[in-house]
Each structure stands twice: as structure tokens, then as C-alpha cells.
Amino acid sequence: MDWSSLKQVGVALGQKTLFTTLEDGKTSLSDGYIPLLVNLTVEDKAAKGLRKHKGGNAREEAVYVSATEAVRENRLLLLTGGSGSGKTTFAEYLIFEYATGIIQKDSDVVLHNDGGERRKETLRGFRPVPLLITITNKQDLADIDGKLPGILESWASREKGCENDGLLLILDGIENSGSEGLRNLASITDAITPKPHVRLLVLGRDSAIQDWDLPAGFSKIQLLPLLVSQRRQLAQKLSLKAEFGSGNAASIPALFALSLAGGHVGDTSEAALDAWLGLCYTSSEKRQGLLQDAYDAWIHKRHSQSNDLAEATNNWPFVSCTAVQELLVAAQLQAASFQEILQVFDENAKSALPIVRSLLYRFSKGEKQERFIREFLNQYVDDLDGVKAQYAALVVCEFIDPHNVPLVTQVVARLLKVIKLGILPFHYRALAGRYLSLFGDPRELTDLVDIPGGTSLFGSSNHPNSSPVHELYLGPFKIGAFPVVNRDYGDFVKQTGRAWLSQDGYDPYTQNAPATDLTWHDARAYCRWLTQKWRETGKIKPNETVQLPSEPQWERASRGGQCESQAGQNIYPWGTNFLTSLSNCEELALNNKCAVGLFPQSSSPFGCYDMVGQVWEWCTTLWGEDMATPTFKYPWTSSDGREDLDANASIRKVLRGGCFSSGQAKATCTYRGSLEPTGFWRGNGFRIVVVSEYIKILTTMPVLNNIQLSSPKDLAPLVGSGEPIYVILTSSNDEETGAPWCSDVRAALPFLKETFDKPEGPKSVYESVGPRPGWKKPDNPHKLTWGISAIPTVIRFELRDGSVEETGRLVEAEVYEEGKLQSFVSKSG
């Protein structure tokens, strides 16, 4: 292979027309390229582990990483974007940079957000030789897979003096490789991985490949639309009116080019297209010829273009973009009958979505648009579970007035199908979640899931902080089926006036997304507020309390009741093997929250959703002060104070489950994260549990009530021959939570209840040592009377030679050690 020719190719690409403007002005790639940004922020990139916001009264605007920086920092990278997002142009600019040597030195300052943040792209040491290969069908990728050994051998034997350069293999259009694409991509990755100076950049359309399970080592990042400030800056450079290309639709690079060519603001794609057609196709015959050619090419899926379409592409490069050709097809169909349009959709629903959307814009708000929407929805009324019915519902949502109750009711039912069935690609499920929020999500997102008491496996061998694997018994509790969402946390904030610096807390499109940007203290305050509210409405019993889950409660709800004897360690709610399509984690590349419940196939064995990925979830459990290594290690025990709710503020609290930027190693049921209790971030949220507070003693049980005990002698009338009595010393209840203030007492309650609170149970008396401050005093009367130094304590008394004698006791963790209390009771006498 002639590697030297790549520089000639790069120089030629630099002269390629990128934009055309009014009066047929042309701007080359070298003069008009706008540095693309990706959906990765400097905060995301710089953070190690979990993050917290710096505080203050205002949020900091996100500073985004450039696409070139993303390529530099990721050896294997899938860069995704929609049609017209600039993927191919970016690849061509990398070749131009190489040819001219620009990439070997720091570039000029680049805009990184619309707030005006400017930074240099630091690219020193990054000198790749880009080799661009375009994939138009599955055979193209198979051919590259077969030819790659020869390419790599040729690269290794190139001229001396180039040893410091690296090869950047660029595969553009990976979505065209079909179902075999992943297999070929894995083979290509295997061939490249042992070659330290070879990199791989894959470009593809996000809606087609977002759910792909990529080979190990791959990063996946999405391109962002162009900033308004970037577009205005270029318009000024080209001596154009500042408003040209500044509209919402023109944020897509191909549509920005269309807007500049038509001298239009680009507020809608259709308006920009019509401005360009009106300016450049004054002949109705030529215009109709172009529209007909575009329609014929789309219907027949021809790769070769007819005369009018080929001529337009040559004069205006943006015409080659699929997004622009779809606009041309919609313009051609504008005068067609509803039945003809429906037939186009019926033949290829997914591909026709952008065309139907464009037609709905062209129909404008009014009787014609609403009539088409009704006919469109009714087309699939007999198969509401089918993908066509689901796609039809999605495309009309943008055009339905939220106050149009009949249409909203109809489309909401369809959107619920999209979410509950979970068969459409994630891109479309996420869209369904946003519109469901806008119209009013009817799901009860505060539903609780009953978690039965039992013994479960905890921990895993995947990370030292999660080891060792051990079994633990937990009593029954209820947990939120979903994380707490914006809609519900927002109600709390409105009613209490609590501060909340949320980026999206009141966005009508994200009311069903997890509430984030809240501290551990915020989450606990919500629990106290909700406890009172739910008790008043009867949703929970008077003796039940809403609180954050302990770490074991969270893990049991996420992982299910797996026991040591079962084969394998299920570190995901669905099992042992990671799948990109089952959670909102780093591999999905959304890098943001989405509506809850969009992954129905990955609910936990108990029926909890979004337990991994999406957002980190606060727990009550303490971690320690060192971010890397916990003070409170596994195996889990409450006797070491890890459930002390009043611990020093410097002690970090446990977060579980990972978030949208967590990789498959962290977005698991077993990985243990942490953060300071005052920290908050857009990826940290929580879910609730409901537990029974201090066990109410029923008079029908053999637990003796209203007994005043001043000393063991008071037990004499209560002890029968051969029948012991047990004195159970516990703590009083915390005023805020309604639960015992002592974590060991909380841990012991299920065991005490199982042993004593039943008609055939042994005779017992509960004695509270009082609130925490009094208990800590050395002269606490309970300590002196019963000779105790810790709670819970269970003391057995029996009648021996006419007097009451102590015959044994269990203290603290002994009470809830598996099987120990039962053995203690059975050995009496």
C-alpha cells in the first residue's frame, strides 16, 4: 500500500467544498470546518470514581470535550450520530489535519459550550495516520476483515523515520454492515489489539447501533449538535448575516449547510429546504425533477443517483446526506393522498419515520394534520403490540397538543406499549419516555415491591471492596420499584421549600426520570416527609417508616435471593453476562438519565427496575473517609457501627448500582461506591424502602406487657416450673425515623419477631433502655440493673431451687447471627 499518497489525499480533501452560500460562494473544508463536540463533559472525563458538585447558588454550565480529543484518548472508539451529524466530514478533516501537520501541534482555541468557554485542543503526541474506509454494505466490512492482515503488515514495513506515527483505521458507515457487522468488527479488533501503534475509529448512526454489544476495550461516545455560537462565528467569518443557520434545525451540520445555501435561519428543516429550493431551483420543472429523483432513489433504494440528484449532490454536497434526501422525499409526497403516504410507511416503517415527521410539519397545525394523525394511528388499531403501531405513535407525539384529551389518551396507551414491551431499539424507547412525561405518565412510579425475608448471597469476587462473598439473613421489607423521580421529589421541594439545584427537575419531558443533584441529607429529608404523607393517606401503616435502604437491603432487592449453593455469581439483575441493551450505562453512550422502566427485560428477580446503571443510589450504610478503600469492609455486619445515622459528616456514605457513565464493571448489583453525604451530582439519586418500625407487641402473644421491672426479682411471679422467661433489652425509637435508633436492634428485630412474637413462642418481656443520650451515660439504670453494656441483649431466666436465676444471655450481633437465637432458646432447662 502506498502510504505516502495519503498526504496527497488529505490536501485534496482540504479543498473540498464544505459549504455553499448565497451567490454561489464556496467554502472549503480547510476554511469552514467547525470542531465537533461530544456528549462527554470535562467533569465526566476528569472525575475518578464518584463526583460531587462544588456547591453555590448557580449551576456551572457543562464544558464538552471535542471529537478530536475523544479520538486521542480512546484507542478503540465508536463515535455515533444521526444522519447529517458530521461523522464523515470529521473523518475527512482528520486526514486533512494529518496531511498538513495541523494535528501535530495545539490548535487554536475551540468553543466548548454556548456560554463562551474556549479552550485549546491539546493534541501533542497524537500523530495518527488516518486510513478512511467507507462501509456501504456487509461485504465491505467482511472484505476489510480479510485484507486487514496485509494492511497491518504493510504498515509495519513502511519507510523508516515514521516509527513515531500511529495508524488510525477509520470505518465509516458501520450500520451498513448488517447483522454480521459485529462479528467482523470483533475480528478486526482482535487483529488490532496486539498492535500498540494502531487505533480504530468506527463511525455509525446512533439509532441503528446504540444497543450493540461492542468488543472489549471499546468506548462509545455520541456527537453533539453544533452550538449556536459556533454557527454564528462561522457566519461572521463568511461575511453572512448572523442569523443564517442559527435556528434549532440548523444545529445538525448537514442542515446548517442547507440553511447557509438557502440564506435561511434554519428554524425548521422544511423551511430551510424550501428556501434553498426557491433560491436555487427557480424552474419548477427542474425542482420537480429533483424531488422525483429523490423519491425514486428512496423507494427503490438505488445506490446510483439519477441525473438531477447527482447534479445537485455535485453542486451542493449536503444533498448526499440521507437526512436531506428524506426532506426531499417528504416534499415530493406533500401532495400525495393519505393512503399513498400510509402505504410508504407500511412498506418500511422505521425508515419512513423521518419522512412522515417532515410531512406532519408541512401539513401545519390544523384540521389536515389532526385528520392525518387519526388515520395514521387507526391504521394499526388491530395490532397495538406490533412495531408499526409503536413507531406510528412515536412520530405523531411531536404534533399533538397536550390539551387534546382524546388524542393524548390514545397515544399514551401506545407509548406505554413501547415501554412495557421493550422491543424497539433504545433510541425510540427513550423518546417514548420523554413524550409520556410530557403528556402525563400514568404509571404509579411510587409503587413498592415486597421483598420477603430470607438468606441471600452478598458480595462478589469482581472487586476487592466487594469481597468476600458471604451469606446474610434479612427480614422482610418493601422497596421502590423505581428510583424516586423528578415528579415526586419536585412535589416535596415545592411543599417544603428545600433547595434543589437540578438541571432537569421541572423539565416537562423528564418528570419520569430519576431525581438527582441531591445529597444524602436531601434524600433522608424526603423519606421523613413521605413517611408522614403516606401515613396520613393510609398508603403505609402507622408503624411503618419510609427510609433509605441499607446496603444489604439494596443488594438483595437488586440481586434476588441467590444462595451460596447456587452456581455462579449473578452480579447483574438478569444474571452473569453483561448486555449493553439491558441498562443505561456507559456502554449505551447516552451519558444522561432517561425515563425509568425503559429496560423491562432487566428487572430484578423481585421486580425492581433500573437497579444498575441510570443513577447511583444512596444507602444508609457508612463507607469511611477514603474514597478508594472502605473502612467498613465486607462481610457486612451492623455491630461495627456502619449503620450509625449520626456519624461524622466527613464519613462517606455508600452509593450502589452505578449510573449512566459507569461501565459494566461498576453498573452491577455488587460494586460498592461512595460519596460524602453533602455531595451531589447529576448522576446520583435514590430509591426508598418501607420498613416496620419497632415491633408492636400483641396481647394475644405470650409476650408480657405492662410489666414494671426494677430488678430480676420482679420476674419471680412470671417464671413457671420448667418454663423460662426472656428479658429482651432494646433501644427506643428515633423520633425522625420511627425506627430503633440502634442499628443492631434494627438488625435483630426480624429474628426476635420470628422467635418470640407468635402464639407458641417462649414467654418474654421487652424492656427499652431509652433514648441514645441516656443510654450512653455510665450510670444508666438499665446497665446497672441488668449488667449490660450493649444492646440488644437477650437474658434467659429460670426458676432454680425456688429462686430466679440467669441461665444465659446473647449480646448484640449474637442475637441476629444465623441460627444462634433459636439454638439459645431451645437449650433452656
Which range has the worst mean pLDDT, 196-210, 392-406, 775-789? Answer: 775-789
Q: Which residue bears the cell 442542515? A: 255
Q: Residue 136: which residues within 8 A CB-CB, separation 6 or more?
A: 173, 176, 303
User: Mean pLDDT across the stretch 182-205?
Assistant: 94
The domains located in the chain, with CATH, are 5-222 (3.40.50), 242-439 (no CATH), 448-692 (3.90.1580.10), 712-826 (3.40.30.10)
Portion of the chain with pLDDT greater than 70, in percent: 91
pLDDT, average across residues 42-67? 66
pLDDT at residue 164 greater than cutoff 80: no
Q: Band of the pLDDT at 736, cuts 50, 70, 90? A: low
Using 50, 70 and 90 to split pLDDT, how confident is the model at 597?
A: very high
What pLDDT is recorded for position 558? 96
d(CA 169, CA 167): 6
Q: How many CA atoms within 13 Å lie on the side-chain side of 575?
A: 6
pLDDT of res. 706: 41
State the Cα angle at 363 between 358 and 364, rounded to 5°.
Answer: 100
Under 8 Å between Cβ of 170 and 131: yes
Cβ atoms of 342 and 377 within 8 Å: the answer is no
Give the largest CA-CA distance in the chain. Answer: 118
- pLDDT for the residue numbered 772: 81
Q: 3-state class of 620 per DSSP?
A: strand
Q: Which three cell numbers stand for residue 364?
A: 401545519
Mean pLDDT confidence for 17-29: 88
Asked whether the predicted pLDDT for residue 56 surpasses 60, the reply is no
Question: How sure is the predictor about 477, in pLDDT bands with cuts at 50, 70 and 90?
Answer: very high
Q: How confident is the model at residue 101 (pLDDT cuts 50, 70, 90)?
A: confident
Q: Is the dihedral of CA 580, 586, 587, 590 positive or negative?
A: positive
pLDDT at 695 over 50: no
Instruction: Return the pLDDT at 698.
Output: 30
pLDDT confidence of residue 37: 95
Q: How many angstroms separate the CA atoms of 3 and 98, rounded? A: 12
Number of Cβ atoms within 10 Å of the Cβ of 215: 18
Cα–Cα separations (whole angstroms), residue 613 to 108, 369, 459, 573, 617: 37, 39, 18, 11, 10
What confidence score (pLDDT) does residue 713 get?
75
Give the mean pLDDT of 82-94: 95
How far apart are alpha carbons 411 and 395 in whole angstroms? Answer: 10
521, 677 in Cβ contact below 8 A?
yes
pLDDT tens for 260-318 read 999 999 999 999 999 999 999 999 999 999 999 999 999 886 555 568 899 999 999 99
Torsion of CA 353, 357, 363, 364, to 10 degrees: 160
Top pLDDT among 772 and 380 is at: 380
3-state secondary structure of 675: strand
Q: In whole angstroms, what separates CA 478 from the centre of its chain? A: 24
What the block records as the C-alpha cell of 502 is: 437540578
Mean pLDDT of 494-514: 96
Residue 295 in 3-state DSSP? Answer: helix
Look at 410-414, 605-609, 766-770 and tell me which has the smallest mean pLDDT: 766-770
Distance, CA of 526 to CA of 523 (rounded, Å): 5
**pLDDT digits over 372-427, tens only?**
999 999 999 989 899 999 999 999 999 999 999 999 999 999 999 999 999 999 99
- Calculate the average pLDDT of the chain: 88
CA distance 168 to 546: 54
Helices (H), 18-62: 29-32, 42-46
Residue 639, pLDDT score? 74
